[in-house]
Amino acid sequence: MSTSEPPSSAASFDPFRALLDEVGAFVYTTDRQGRYTYANRLVLELLGGHALEYVLGKDISHFFGETGNAALRETDRRVLEDGETLVREETNLIAATGELRTYWSTKKPLRDATGAIVGLLGISHDITEKKRLEDTVREQNAMLDAILENVDALVYVKGADRRFRYANQRTASAFGLPVERIVGALDSELMPVEAADRFWEKDRRILATGERWAGEETLFDATGKMHHYWSVVAPLLTPNGRPAVVGLSTDITELHELKEELRRQATTDGLTGIANRRSFLAQAEREFARSRRHGTALSLIAIDIDHFKRINDELGHPTGDRVLREFAAAVAATLRSVDLFARTGGEEFCILLPDTDGEQATVTAQRVRELAHSVVVDPVQADWCLHLSAGVASLRAGDDGFEQLFARADRALYAAKRQGRDRVNRSGDDENASSAR
């Protein structure tokens, strides 16, 4: 091939032209001055749709101008002068439209029989749309990563093999591990087997049914603290066609604790920490129904602290509050776990005793009365002593509601007060036998 003048025609390439025109790539050759010695159909279209005979002998500047393609000319120089073979991404500014096209190009030197460089062979694939798509996907992935890393939730993908396919940073923090340690790991390698099996049973149902699941879940974090999550888990088909589940779990621990605190406040007396009247009556009704259904004993002790108003009036309400707290704590420490102890009024208390008959309940009431004596009312004035009156009542065959049992215990309590206070009176006992002194 001559280095000074182009071929007189493209006839020498005719056996190959049909093939090269259909390869889907830009194929061309130039001499050492960068003048075209061959161009296939795609190159001719890029150069303006000219015939090959018109293109031969002209360089790139004839079609695209002197400016805007300096990088291309530098690449060609390295091939033609330095003998490099280059495989790289290139851009080409189309002067007619001002469009910048991107190509993946292979350029290598053409040599004669002596090894001297006589020209350049170029094969380029237009990857402009692919590049734009990649840029779009990259941008979308960057935005998605930003969202997933900043969303206030654990986000993960788990395959049907129980291995994690994705985990955001919050998920990693929950496990106390870097993300790369989580991706690819089995769920049972990241959490206790019992918890992993529980989660997997739910995931397995989702994979089997294809139905989305939402609900509350609990998980211990890396420090051993229990967290409550509201989770939404849905089936997912990964790009490789394998089934998986994607989960989004929002930490609702604070909300759960607030809900529990509100529930506790709704059922607990704020001063003493034992059950309040509302909670007591609700639980007592259930216990009454259980005792009636199973034919078991049930007793109730109604308590009123004697002369409590005098404590408040003479020693002050803070002292009165302390006395109530200490009394409640002392009594609660002696009761069974099944017993229900509640503050039902200012200085009024009740103890519901399941599976307990009247005699046993009276013994308990006497013990509570004696406990009251041990509560220090005023550390300075030793003559202050806490006293209480108590009424005891037990379930009867004719009772059809807890209020009947409650009413009898209340009447027994006020009978004890009439008898002089600091005593226990059992419903049905005559007044002379009720003294506990």
One fold for 11-127 and 268-433: no
| Per-residue buried b or exposed e for 99-134, using 16+ beta carbons within 10 Å of the residue's own CB | eebbbbbebebbeeeeeebbbbbbbbbbbeeebeee
The correct CATH number of 151-255 out of 3.90.1200.10, 2.60.40.2380, 3.30.450.20, 3.40.50.300 is 3.30.450.20
**What fold is seen in the domain 11-127?**
Beta-Lactamase (3.30.450)
Q: Is 164 exposed, middle or buried (0-12, 13-18, 19+ CB in 10 A)?
A: buried
The beta strand positions in 139-253, using DSSP E, are 154-159, 164-167, 213-220, 226-237, 243-251
Q: pLDDT at position 95, please?
A: 64
Block mean pLDDT (10 aa), the chain, length 437: 44 68 92 94 90 93 72 87 92 74 93 95 92 86 81 92 93 92 94 92 94 92 88 90 93 87 87 94 95 96 96 94 96 96 96 96 97 92 91 94 96 96 84 35
The tally of CA atoms less than 13 A away on the side-chain side of residue 284 is 27
User: Which residue shows structure tokens 């890396």?
Assistant: 222
User: The tokens of 170 are what?
Assistant: 């919050």
Q: What is the pLDDT of residue 224?
A: 85
Cα–Cα distance measured from residue 242 to residue 152, given in angstroms and rounded to the nearest whole number: 28
Please state, as a whole number, how many other Cβ atoms lie within 10 Å of the Cβ of residue 392: 32
Specify the CATH number for 268-433; select among 3.30.365.10, 1.10.3720.10, 3.10.580.10, 3.30.70.270: 3.30.70.270
What is the Cα–Cα distance from 366 to 351, expressed in whole angstroms? 13
Among candidate residues 186, 198, 196, the one with its CA nearest the CA of residue 162: 186
Looking at residue 23, what is its pLDDT?
A: 87
* pLDDT given for residue 208 in this prediction: 94
Angstrom distance (rounded) from CA 75 to CA 102:
15
Q: Sketch the domain layout of the chain as residue ranges.
A: 11-127, 151-255, 268-433
Q: Which two tokens stand for residue 332?
A: 């609660």
Return the SS3 of 107. Answer: strand
Q: Tokens 């396919």 appear where? A: 165
pLDDT of residue 394: 97
Residue with token string 């420090």? 223
> What does the alpha-carbon distance between residue 252 and residue 152 come to, in Å, rounded to a whole number?
10
Q: Give pLDDT, residue 67.
A: 62
Q: Residues 127, 120: contact at Cβ < 8 Å?
A: no
Q: How far from 58 is each of 34, 62, 68, 69, 148, CA to CA, in Å? A: 8, 6, 18, 15, 54
Yes or no: say if 109 and 85 are a contact pair by the CB < 8 Å rule. Answer: yes
